[in-house]
């Protein structure tokens, strides 16, 4: 949902894969390398046999070696145009549903991101290629959520979403919410759900129309949301309505038990999809190296994902059987103006995270340290420590500013094992460098 506002496409350029490309970065640097993978969010290049990942927002342009000028990004396999109805069909057996996107639109199937409770399943875009700075509209996004315990209907959940946006706009004064259709009960092909239409109006004058359908089965909520600029949304309303009408639940779904309770995804299952890597991890943008030093109490190793926002986890043998302990990572970009006062920016981030954490853990969450500077040899950093007594868990989060990026590393463990695991965590943190 919030990604719709943030999805701005930066034009990536490519040449024949067998020839080197010249990549020009916004900071003035350039690199000649062969592109081996490309998405809307990042590219992966081969540099002397070593695969490196670069984020799209860091790239100014890419030119072909043969000097033919700038070429538009070629489509990846998951972005092939949907020329017939069968290609538009998306079946999700994990949660047990299917949907067909608008005919002729482009389809992008998303893998789940580790650690996220709201997961994008599939996105359909009418246009695959855009001029630099244009948003990917219109689109149809299908997301999966686990409903809070006190939500009993799709309408109730939809109302909470609108309330969330009201609170965000009121707090940060970044825009306004205008409701066109209040959330109300609907029935499509015998399936009960909800529908709402609303505009998210940013202070810069941009306005995005959302046509939001939600369907609930047991604890699972599937959102089918059409997004477009408000000025042109009516032109694609029928596309959104026709696609929503194809939605249906199928089978039981692997994540739903016979009793109707959602099966919690084991972290070990998520980590199994990543690539094990021992010793050290190198990240391209922002540039950093993190190592597991000798002498740690556990056999820590990196599990690397092809997901720029969540590049890796640090796990050990116990993680795969108990879901604990593990060290998570997250990389996000920081606006330039926020870097003028890093402490103030951190406090704003910490306050936002605290609200979310209270919603997840309730009043039992105890903020042992909700923000203090942490000395690392090369970086400005801050830390927070949170305890959840009723679940016997303890968390240590570290926020590290790197150029115009923020790296977040978090130790997730039990109260009983926290002392030893935190020693390992700090030893690993102290290896962080740009070399």
- Tell me the average confidence (pLDDT) per consecutive run of 10 residues in the chain, 435 residues long: 31 32 77 71 64 74 48 32 53 85 79 47 72 63 80 89 83 86 93 94 88 91 93 92 93 54 57 83 91 93 83 86 86 81 87 76 84 87 92 93 90 94 96 90
Give which of 138, 97, 92, 131 is closest to 112, Cα–Cα. 92
- For residue 263, the model assigns a pLDDT of 45
pTM, two decimal places = 0.51
The angle subtended at Cα 179 by Cα 176 and Cα 184, nearest 5°, is 145
* C-beta separation of 370 from 352 below 8 A: no
- For residue 107, the model assigns a pLDDT of 80
Alpha-carbon distance of 83 to 87, in angstroms, equals 7
- For residue 54, the model assigns a pLDDT of 76
Alpha-carbon distance of 245 to 242, in angstroms, equals 5
- Residue reference for tokens 């130790």: 411
Domains contained in the chain, CATH given: 2-64 (2.30.30.100), 77-249 (3.40.1000.10), 267-429 (3.40.1000.10)
Structure tokens given for 413:
């463990």
Alpha-carbon distance of 188 to 269, in angstroms, equals 34
Task: List phi, psi (to 5°) of 5.
Answer: -70, -30
- For residue 71, the model assigns a pLDDT of 25
Helix (H, G, I), strand (E, B) or coil at 294: coil
- For residue 128, the model assigns a pLDDT of 62
Distance of CA 407 to the CA centre of its chain: 14
- For residue 211, the model assigns a pLDDT of 97
Alpha-carbon distance of 48 to 107, in angstroms, equals 33
H/E element, 2: helix 2-6
In terms of Cβ atoms closer than 10 Å to its own Cβ (0-12, 13-18, 19+), residue 29 is exposed
Strands 301-304 and 30-38: unpaired
């Amino acid at each position: 949902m919030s990604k719709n506002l943030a999805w701005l496409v930066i034009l990536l350029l490519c040449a024949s894969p067998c020839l080197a490309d010249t990549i020009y970065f916004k900071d003035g640097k350039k690199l000649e390398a062969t592109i081996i993978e490309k998405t809307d969010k990042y590219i992966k290049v081969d540099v002397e046999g070593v695969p490196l990942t670069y984020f799209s927002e860091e790239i100014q342009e890419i030119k072909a070696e043969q000097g033919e000028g700038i070429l538009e990004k070629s489509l990846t396999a998951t972005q092939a145009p949907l020329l017939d109805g069968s290609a538009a069909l998306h079946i999700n057996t994990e949660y047990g549903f299917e949907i067909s996107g608008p005919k002729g639109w482009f389809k992008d199937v998303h893998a789940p991101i580790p650690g996220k409770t709201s997961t994008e399943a599939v996105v359909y875009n009418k246009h695959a290629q855009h001029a630099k700075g244009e948003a990917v509209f219109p689109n149809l996004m299908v997301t999966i959520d686990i409903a809070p315990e006190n939500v009993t209907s799709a309408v109730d959940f939809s109302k909470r979403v609108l309330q969330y946006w009201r609170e965000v706009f009121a707090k940060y004064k970044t825009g306004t919410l205008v409701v066109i259709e209040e959330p109300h009960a609907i029935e499509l092909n015998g399936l009960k759900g909800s529908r709402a239409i609303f505009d998210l109006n940013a202070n810069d004058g941009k306005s995005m129309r959302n046509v939001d359908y939600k369907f609930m089965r047991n604890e699972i909520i599937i959102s089918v949301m059409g997004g477009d600029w408000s000025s042109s949304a009516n032109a694609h309303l029928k596309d959104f309505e026709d696609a929503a009408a194809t939605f249906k639940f199928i089978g039981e779904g692997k994540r739903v038990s016979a009793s109707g309770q959602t099966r919690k995804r084991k972290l070990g299952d998520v980590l199994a999809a990543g690539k094990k890597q021992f010793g050290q991890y190198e990240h391209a943008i922002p540039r950093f190296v993190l190592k597991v030093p000798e002498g740690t109490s556990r056999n820590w190793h990196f599990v690397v994902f092809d997901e720029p926002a969540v590049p890796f986890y640090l796990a050990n043998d116990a993680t795969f059987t108990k879901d604990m302990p593990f060290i998570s990572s997250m990389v996000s970009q920081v606006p330039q103006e926020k870097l003028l006062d890093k402490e103030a920016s951190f406090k704003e981030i910490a306050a936002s995270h605290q609200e979310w954490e209270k919603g997840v853990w309730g009043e039992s969450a105890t903020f042992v340290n909700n923000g203090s500077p942490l000395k690392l040899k090369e970086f400005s950093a801050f830390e927070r420590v949170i305890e959840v007594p009723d679940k016997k868990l303890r968390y240590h989060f570290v926020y590290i500013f790197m150029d115009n990026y923020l790296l977040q590393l978090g130790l997730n463990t039990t109260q009983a094992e926290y002392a030893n695991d935190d020693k390992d965590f700090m030893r690993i943190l102290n290896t962080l460098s740009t070399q």
